[in-house]
């Protein structure tokens, strides 16, 4: 039986430079399972997605991180892209928003470069996760155990390395959101 996320609210935290497929495919997966999704960002208006280094579409921001209430969401998804998490990790409201999900034990999904924001939030120590390979040293220095695998789950935290991992990432993300707090 497929996991249903009916009645669940999921925040996607992203900024300009988000890798488009790492935003759209997980969003489609959680919406298809019945969840309501909101795009949270550091500024109102729109964010610009990219396909690798090429500009792509824009997406409307639903709420800014300084106004978003983490308690009103059941889970958080952090899409990757090189620029996106770099912008997010320099914004204290975005970092606080991320930290709140870990403090509450809510499911979090992060792919590619997204763990940079989690490092800034101080939430990776003692966890096992994967990411784009260039983050290995950053994650290890922050106290995480880095593994090179398509999809890693650690107590409600779902991580993957790259767009090729999206099928496994999306399936596990929906499953972990369905399980709820950890």
Q: Give the CATH number of the domain where residue 139 resides.
A: 3.40.50.880
CB 35 within 8 A of CB 177: yes
Within a domain: residue 112?
yes
pLDDT digits (tens, 9 = 90+) for 80-134: 999 999 999 999 999 999 999 999 999 999 999 999 999 999 999 999 999 999 9
Choose among 117, 134, 17, 123: nearest CA to 77: 117
- Looking at residue 134, its pLDDT comes to 97
Other CB atoms within 10 A of residue 92 CB: 12
Average pLDDT estimate for 22-42 = 98
42 half-sphere exposure, CB direction, 13 A CA radius: 21
Choose among 63, 64, 84, 77: nearest CA to 11: 77
**How sure is the predictor about 182, in pLDDT bands with cuts at 50, 70 and 90?**
confident
For the annotated catalytic residues, the residue numbers are 113
Within a domain: residue 2?
no
Q: The whole model's pTM is what? A: 0.97
Within a domain: residue 3?
no
Q: Per the structure, how many domains does the chain have?
A: 1
Examine the pLDDT at 76 and tell me if it is beyond 50: yes
Within a domain: residue 87?
yes
Within a domain: residue 52?
yes
d(CA 147, CA 136): 8
Within a domain: residue 4?
no
Within a domain: residue 88?
yes
d(CA 166, CA 109): 11
Within a domain: residue 1?
no
Per the structure, the complete domain to which residue 16 belongs is given by 9-179
Which whole-number Å values give the CA distances from 101 to 14, 19, 21, in the listed order?
15, 22, 23
Examine the pLDDT at 2 and tell me if it is beyond 80: no
């Amino acid at each position: 039986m497929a996991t249903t996320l009916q009645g669940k609210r999921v925040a996607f935290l992203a900024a300009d430079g988000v890798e488009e497929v790492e935003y759209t495919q997980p969003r489609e997966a959680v919406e298809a399972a019945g969840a309501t999704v909101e795009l949270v960002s550091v500024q109102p208006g729109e964010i610009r997605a990219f396909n690798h280094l090429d500009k792509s579409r824009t997406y409307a921001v639903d709420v800014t991180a300084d106004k978003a209430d983490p308690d009103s969401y059941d889970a958080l998804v952090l899409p990757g892209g090189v620029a996106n998490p770099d912008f997010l990790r320099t914004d204290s409201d975005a970092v606080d928003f991320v930290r709140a999900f870990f403090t509450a034990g809510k499911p979090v999904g992060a792919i590619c470069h997204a763990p940079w924001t989690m490092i800034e939030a101080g939430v990776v120590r003692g966890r096992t996760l994967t990411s784009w390979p260039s983050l290995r040293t950053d994650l290890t220095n922050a106290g995480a155990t880095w593994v090179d695998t398509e999809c890693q789950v650690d107590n409600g935290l779902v991580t993957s390395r790259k767009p090729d991992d999206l099928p496994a990432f999306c399936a596990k993300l929906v499953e972990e959101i369905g399980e709820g707090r950890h």
